[in-house]
């Protein structure tokens, strides 16, 4: 769970709009202190929804790994084509953060995630540089009530298919292929990391 929430670049928040329809919005987020934080405008549908004391929301983040072409598993049959992944799904209570220190800390953590090299003054509520932006920016928090972690790494395939996938991933060796091979290897109960 931690790896997905700390490294997924984009998450999706789900709310129910004023007409009763589900609405999913992609956003930049940070996982900090066991909560999801993101920022936005201090007006609009999302802000109004999160201001509600009974605000229930869904949140999802995923990490795509390698795509697998169908012909790696079946010569002509298209259906085995897939992308392996890890994902986290949260149901929880949403709120708008009112405390200036919590807002500043959440925004600082967002910056550390998306700009880890630094190059900016630390965000604190006492710094005149940030007092106006903190007052004009909404910071939203999701407190998890239920969490579900899912992953797909061929765990439903026979061991010989998984071994063949590991070999093909290591041979192709691009992008997330080695990490994907390592995850499939875990489904076989084999320890050790690929070269």
CA angle 99, 141, 127 (to 5 degrees): 40
Confidence of residue 191 (pLDDT cuts 50, 70, 90): low
Nearest-angstrom CA–CA distance, 172 and 193: 16
**Mean pLDDT to the nearest integer, 59-68:** 97
| pLDDT > 60? residue 52 | yes
36 DSSP assignment: E
Residue range 2-68+84-152 forms a domain whose CATH class is mainly beta
Q: What does pTM read for this prediction?
A: 0.88
Domain boundary assignment for the chain: 2-68+84-152, 154-195
For the residues 22-51, what does the mean pLDDT come to?
A: 94
């Amino acid at each position: 769970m931690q790896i997905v929430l700390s490294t997924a670049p984009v998450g999706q928040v789900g709310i129910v709009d004023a007409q009763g329809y589900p609405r999913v919005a992609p956003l930049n987020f940070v996982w900090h202190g066991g909560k999801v934080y993101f920022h936005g405008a201090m007006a609009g549908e999302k802000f109004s929804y999160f201001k509600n004391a009974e605000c229930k929301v869904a949140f999802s983040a995923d990490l795509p790994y390698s795509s697998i072409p169908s012909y790696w598993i079946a010569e002509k049959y298209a259906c085995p084509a897939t992308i392996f992944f890890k994902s986290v799904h949260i149901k929880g209570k949403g709120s708008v953060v009112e405390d200036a220190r919590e807002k500043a800390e959440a925004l600082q953590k967002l910056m550390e995630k998306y700009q880890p090299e630094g190059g900016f003054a630390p965000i604190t509520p006492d710094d005149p540089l940030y007092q106006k932006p903190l007052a004009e920016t909404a910071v939203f928090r999701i407190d998890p009530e239920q969490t579900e972690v899912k992953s797909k790494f061929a765990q439903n395939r026979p061991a010989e298919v998984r071994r063949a996938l590991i070999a093909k991933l290591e041979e192709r060796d691009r992008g997330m292929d080695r990490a994907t091979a390592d995850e499939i290897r875990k489904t076989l109960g084999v320890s050790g990391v690929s070269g």
